[in-house]
């Protein structure tokens, strides 16, 4: 199967949003996707992009993506944070994921990152097995914390 990996473009965003929704559906969380195409355009293609992505194409159709941003660790410096990584179900087990993941690793290498990190759900055995092929550390020691916009807005503001 001929696969092309390239940097993402603004015109790709409708397909990217659909892949995001496909992943959320796979994770039984489609109702949690609140992101809009307009937000993706503004946040990724403005003066200060909040994210980047690469795509996998077959016959000029987007069949997968690696969606990432730059994270800064106070202990270790710059890291590439792989936010979402997805290959359309009908194209899995054809090497597409490996090509995308290795291209993402290469971005971390070329950009002189101190590492690459991501999250994976503890029940997603196929993904865990995929990452372990790369000798990745999958930690169960760290717990995720977050505040959503509603929670943030409900707190009393303090000026800096």
Tell me if 132 is assigned to some domain.
Answer: yes
Taking the model in full, what pTM does it have? 0.90
CATH number of the domain at 47, please: 3.40.630.30
Would 51 be classed as within a structural domain? yes
pLDDT at res. 14: 98
**Would residue 126 count as lying in a domain?**
yes
Q: Domain total for the chain?
A: 1
Q: Which of 51, 52, 91, 131 is catalytic?
A: 131
Residue 160 domain flag: no
Q: What range defines the domain where residue 44 resides?
A: 4-154
- What is the structure's pLDDT at 156? 82
DSSP H helix total and E strand total for the chain: 5, 5
What is the distance between the alpha carbons of residues 105 and 109, in angstroms, rounded to a whole number? 6
Confidence (pLDDT) at 87:
96
Report yes or no: 96 and 56 within 8 Å, Cβ to Cβ: yes
Residue 26 annotated in active site: no
What's the pLDDT score for residue 5? Answer: 98
Q: Note whether residue 159 is domain-resident.
A: no
**pLDDT less than 70: residues of the chain:** none
Does 13 reside within a domain?
yes
* Closest C-alpha to 119, from 142, 96, 151: 142
Indicate whether 123 belongs to any domain.
yes
Q: Is residue 39 part of a domain?
A: yes
């Amino acid at each position: 199967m001929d696969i092309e990996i390239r940097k993402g473009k603004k015109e790709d965003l409708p397909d990217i949003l659909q892949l995001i929704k496909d992943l959320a559906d796979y994770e039984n969380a489609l109702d949690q996707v609140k992101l809009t195409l307009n937000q993706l355009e503004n946040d990724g293609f403005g003066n200060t992009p909040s994210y980047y992505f690469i795509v996998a194409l077959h016959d000029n159709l987007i069949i997968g993506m690696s969606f990432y941003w730059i994270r800064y660790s106070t202990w270790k410096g710059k890291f590439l944070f792989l936010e979402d990584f997805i290959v359309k179900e009908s194209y899995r087990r054809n090497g597409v994921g490996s090509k995308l993941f290795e291209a993402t690793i290469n971005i971390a290498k070329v950009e002189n990152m101190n590492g690459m990190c991501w999250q994976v759900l503890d029940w997603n055995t196929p993904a865990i097995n995929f990452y372990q092929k790369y000798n990745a550390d999958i930690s169960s020691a760290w717990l995720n914390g977050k505040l959503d916009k509603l929670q943030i807005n409900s707190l009393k503001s303090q000026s800096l």
